Each structure stands twice: as structure tokens, then as C-alpha cells.
Structure 1
Amino acid sequence: MSASPPSPASPAPRGRWTTFVRWFDTAAAEREGDPALDDRVDWLRALPFLAMHLACIAVFWVGASATAVGIAVALYAVRMFALTGFYHRYFSHRTFRTSRPVQFLFAMLGAASVQRGPLWWAAHHRHHHAHADTPADPHTPRKGFWRSHVGWFLTRAGFRTDPARIRDWLRFPELRWLDRYDTVVPLALAAALYGLGAALERWAPGLGTDGPQLLVWGFFVSTVALFHATVTINSLAHRWGRRRYDTRDDSRNNLWLALLTFGEGWHNNHHYFPGSARQGFRWWEIDITWYGLRLLQALGLVRDLKPVPAAVLARAGG
């Protein structure tokens, strides 16, 4: 009697090997399966993501220093701006223009956030706007907090990139490469931080840091904090805050989330008019990403920042 085929929930050795390959090459062949199973968390493929969280516990062994914490904060800020200004407002919504070198530079900084490549990010975000808070939205809070916060990100369906949604970016081979090998930049950053820490330990011991400490704080702690801050816009900005505009979704404006995410917390504004490079529509709505983009424009690095139309502001009221 022939043996039964392996269950999709318990992948065969070949399937495990393919999953391992996809940790480094997202284009590795993936078998299409039952849509219901594709919507489950792929724990095997999620292992590096889970390990990154566990690595944060190492702070109790490596200790802390002003240098390590300062670098962690700086990397949080730089990568948050790359995500909000470029992954979101540029690659997803095309709210301004820039040169190809600047486009690639900020795509690399965004990739260093370990939130996958710019094409994946833009494709999923465009899908979200097309189906916000409907059953087709993978991270609507209507499916539960944890599902919207992190669960959707770890499913087999969540790992895929829909090329139909980002055809405007497919003509750039460097972006396709960055999207396919989306772990290259994070691994390079981790190695660079370890090397910098080892160098500082030797050449500037007064700074009180070393390789393991800078790796844990600068990469693991900073990256995990960055991830969870970013996805609060999925899980919290559709639950708590003020609704200035009567949109078809549950989006809300939230000052605290705006501060944490450099302006993304003005989420109801954004869902009402996603075509603007500015999300804090009023002068008192702090939008750090907008200020950064204005600075880059003044330096000649970006151009044609799309403003909030006067008609949209007029509907905003107070």
C-alpha cells in the first residue's frame, strides 16, 4: 500500500529546503496550495522573524551604553523616514519625484528595516487601500488585533508580491533585485554594526561599547521597535483616534501614533486623500516625514511634492 502524501501543515524535507531558500531568495518556487492554508501563519518561514525578537533578550548579557542606545535611536529614525517617506509616500503612492540614485538609496535604507523589499511593501499597501477594512484587507483590525498587527505579515499569502500592483516599478532591475534578495541589506547592516562595535572597543574604549552590544541594540532592538511602531498604523490607527473625514474604512487620526511614526498617525487624513506627500493636513498636525521631504526638496534631492488640495482642506473643518 502506498504511503500517504505529507500534510501541507507538515512540509516534506524538500518543502523545508525550499522554505529555507526563500529566507534568502523570495523568488524561489512556491507551490500553490489551499487558499485557507495560505492564510495561516507559516511558522517555518517566520523563524528568522521570531529569532530577531528573541535576540533582544541578549540586552541582559551585553549591557547598555549611551553609544549603543544612541545608534539604536538614530537607526530607528533614519529607517522610519525611509519607510514613511519612500516605501509609503513614494513607492506606494508616488506623491513626489526623485532621481534614480536617490530612489535606490532610500529603497536600500527601507530594506534595512527588515520589512521586506520596496515592491512587496508597495504592492501590499496598494492592495490595502483598494480593500481597506473589508474581508479582502489582510490586516484590518476587524479580523482581530494580533492578526492586523503581525499575523498577516507571517502568512504564506502575506509573503507573496503581486506584480500586477507594482508594474510601474518593475522596469527598475535594481529594485527587483532588492525585493528578491530582501535579506542582503539587513544582514550587511548587522555585520557592519558588529564590526563597528569591535572597532570602537579597540580604538575608542571610552565609548563603552563592543561588537555584540552594538549588534543587539543597533540591529535587533532598534529593528524590532521599528517594526512594531510601523504596524501600529494597521492595528491601532483603524481603532483609536478621531475621524475628521467620513471615509469608507475605519481609519482615524491619532497624535501619539503620528509622533511614533513620523506623521503616519494622521491616518484618516491619508485615507481620505492618499495622493498628498503631506499627511498632517493642519499646521499643528506634526508630520516629521513631511518636514524631512521638504528638506530634501530644498537640497534638490526630491521634487514636485504633491500638496493637499485646497478643496480637501476646506472640507477638513477645524
Structure 2
Amino acid sequence: MAFLDHVLQAPAYGWKDVQGDLIKPSIRQILREFFSRLNVFSNRKNWLPFFSWFKVLCLVPFFILFLFKYMDPWMLLVGFMYSMVILGTHGTIWHHRYCTHGAYHFRNPFWRFFTQNLTISIIPEEIYAISHHVHHSKSDQPGDPYNAEAGFWYCFLADVNHQPIAKNLSEDDYCRVKALMKHTGVKANTYAQYQKWGSYVNPYRAVMSWILNWSFWYLAFYLVGGHALACTIFGSAGFWAIGVRTFNYEGHGKGKDKKREGVDHNQKDNSINQLWPGFVAGEWHNNHHLYPKSARSGFRPYQVDTAWYYIKFMSMIGAVKSYKDSKKDYYRQYHQPYLESKMKACAGSELTANRTDINKQINVS
């Protein structure tokens, strides 16, 4: 069995049936799986998905304080910019293009640490990166951890139900997980520790990193704008943490083929380029599926790519030593051939129309 076929912990309802077709569980099955995997009392190896959602719950009080005490037009604007643009862009920069795809390389560990902690820490690198490799290998196929064809809740709760690594990997397979994560700077468990905790990251290190990150950022925001600013930004982070879980369902056409001619050139899956995720986070998803290892996915002039702007700036100041930019390849392999095919089709239509007019004139005469 290929490594990516079993690196993730399969849900109780399975990935596919005996015919090889996608299993589409009911909402009840999905919720049962979700709560069973959050139960750290029945199995301590459930600690990482529990920890991930625990951090989201910790952001709820900040959101309530913002909503009922600190909200005004300016704070609303700040919260919108932080949640939609800053956190969204950081997710693309760090979790997506670096941790998963290694689309660029830092000059040294300092700049990696700086970029990692550029925002409030929310999503564990391990849950995102390993499962995203599987997503690209099996996009919109059985085994895709957030297959939109299985419905909204299948995607929304995927970080718990489908994305954690398997708890019974062999030592060789665990070494392959370590190889996929090594460049992120997240320190790995030994194989014995993995067998105990069921995760790549050690819980003590994860909790300490979380506490230090949140403490630093709350203090920084408090010094700038008091509790109002700090609660606004932490509350907006909670809003983003929930909202981002809807992206893969939307980004793959809600399980339907919604690709547009001349816009979405990748025909291998249902990924689509969307204006909103593109503008606020640099996530032009169909482009990304064409060139997953590219540090830029906004190839067209209108495709704003804030994540790419950060990576390019870091390259200019020497913090990023190398990156891959597939813009020229995109134009050469997809956009230009598309334009040429349209021109030929138009020329053919005009020629057909002219021939029709001549035949009409001949018949009349």
C-alpha cells in the first residue's frame, strides 16, 4: 500500500466502499466521529485535534467581548483586516506554500521562526501539512481528507475526522512523516514518543509554543491599543478559525464541476479560482493545483497575491534565499495556447460565415 494511502487515520466510516466509490457518511456519522476523536479521556492520542479545537474555544470569549463591549467602526475594520487578510495570507504563506509544498526556502532558521509566528498561532502544522499532501495526491477522489463531494460537514470537520496522521504507522513510515515535516522547524517526537502520543509534535512543546505565542501577541496588541484592540484581534482570529474550515468545500465547487473556460485550466479535479480567497489570501486554488510548488499562484494581472508579495519582499531583503515562480510556465503552457485556440476558432467561424454568405449570393443569382 502506498504511503499516502495510509498515512492518515481513516475514519470509522472509511474512505471508500468495496466497489472503490467514495463513502458519503451521514451528518450523524460525521458528528459521532468528530466527538469520539476529541475524547482525550478515552484515548490520549486524540490530544492534537482536541488541542486544535480547544484553541478555537479559547478565542470565543475574546469575540464576545469584542461584540458586546469594544465593537465600533474602527475596531470592526481592524478585525476584518486581521481575520480576512492577515490571517488568511499568513495561512497561505506558512502552512500552504512553505510547510506543505516547500515553494520557497528561508536564509536561516530565524526568518523561518519569524514567519511562523507572524500572527496568532491557531492551526497545528502537522494537521495541515501531511493531510494536504494526501489532498493533492487524491484530489476529489476517495481518500481525499476534505473531499467536497461528500458534503459540507465532511469538509468542515475534516481537521478532526480525516486529517490527523494514523496512530499505528511503522517506524519507516513515521520517518517519512518526519521527512515531510523536517523543514518546518517543528521538532519531532521520537518513534517511541509517537507511539505514546500518536502525533509528530510533542504535546508539551505544542502547548508551550502556543502559550508563548499568544502571550506575546496579546501583550503587543495591548500596548498598542489596550484591551479593546487585543480582544478585537483575538476575537477576529476566532472568527477566521471557524470560517477557514469552509474553504475546501467552496474551493472545490461544493463537490460539483464549476470550472470556467479560460479561467480554470486545471481539469484534473474540481478546484476553482475564486475572487474572494484570491484577493484576501492569495489563494487562487485552481492555479495552485496546476503548480502546487509555485510560490506565486496569482498569475493573471487581476489575480492579487498577497502571499506572493510577502515572499518576494522577503527575498529582496535576503530572508528568503530561493523560490519557485511558475508564472511564465502558466502563460506558456495554458494561457497562451488557450488564446490561440480561441483565435483559431474565431477565424474558423468568420470563414464559415463568409462561405455561407457567398453561397447565399450564388443561390440568389
Same fold (TM over 0.5): yes
Q: Which moved more, 1:276-285 or 1:99-108?
A: 99-108
- Among candidates 272, 276, 287, match of residue 305 of structure 2: 287
Aligned pairs for 1:1-318 within 5 A: 16=41, 19=44, 23=47, 26=48, 46=53, 48-50=55-57, 52-53=59-60, 56-64=63-71, 69=76, 72=79, 75-76=82-83, 77-99=85-107, 100-109=109-118, 112-117=120-125, 119-148=126-155, 150-155=156-161, 157-160=162-165, 163=174, 164-165=176-177, 167-170=179-182, 174-176=186-188, 179-180=201-202, 181-196=205-220, 210-211=226-227, 213-221=228-236, 223-239=237-253, 242=260, 244-261=264-281, 263-264=282-283, 266-308=284-326, 310-314=328-332, 315-316=334-335, 317=338
Q: 1: distance between equivalents of 2:55 and 2:63?
A: 13
Would you say the 8 A contact 1:229–1:260 is kept in 2?
no
Could you report, residue by residue, the CA deviation over 1:167-197 in whole angstroms, capped at 9, with x for unpaired residues? 1433776543894343444433443455456
1:303 match: secondary structure: strand
1:198 CA drift (Å):
5.8
Compute the RMSD of aligned alpha carbons: 3.7
1:271 CA drift (Å):
0.7
1:36 is matched with: none
1:166/1:45 CA distance change after superposition, 3 Å:
closer
Would you say the 8 A contact 2:62–2:232 is kept in 1?
no
Q: 1: distance between equivalents of 2:184 and 2:249?
A: 32
1:54 CA drift (Å):
6.2
Q: 2: distance between equivalents of 1:10 and 1:246?
A: 36
Could you report, residue by residue, the CA deviation over 1:174-232 in whole angstroms, capped at 9, with x for unpaired residues? 543894343444433443455456656xxxxxxxx543x344312132x1233345444
Equivalent pairs, count = 276
Would you say the 8 A contact 1:190–1:219 is kept in 2?
no
Unaligned runs of 5+ in 2: 1-32, 167-172, 190-199, 340-365
1:37 is matched with: none
Q: 1: distance between equivalents of 2:61 and 2:223?
A: 26
1:71 CA drift (Å):
5.7
What is the one-letter code of the residue matched to 2:153? W
Structure 1 runs of 4+ aligned residues shifted over 6 Å read: 8-11, 42-45
Would you say the 8 A contact 1:153–1:159 is kept in 2?
yes
What is the one-letter code of the residue matched to 2:151? G
1:238 CA drift (Å):
0.7
1:313 match: secondary structure: helix
Q: 2: distance between equivalents of 1:171 and 1:282?
A: 30
1:34 is matched with: none
Q: 2: distance between equivalents of 1:106 and 1:145?
A: 31
Would you say the 8 A contact 1:96–1:304 is kept in 2?
yes
1:290 match: secondary structure: helix
1:61/1:44 CA distance change after superposition, 3 Å:
same
What is the one-letter code of the residue matched to 1:131? K
1:302 CA drift (Å):
0.7
Would you say the 8 A contact 1:241–1:254 is kept in 2?
no
What is the one-letter code of the residue matched to 2:248? N
Q: Which is higher, the Rg of structure 1 or of structure 2? A: 2
1:123/1:288 CA distance change after superposition, 3 Å:
same
Q: 2: distance between equivalents of 1:214 and 1:65?
A: 11
Q: 2: distance between equivalents of 1:236 and 1:46?
A: 21
Aligned-pair identity (%): 20
TM-score (norm 2): 0.63
Would you say the 8 A contact 2:294–2:325 is kept in 1?
yes
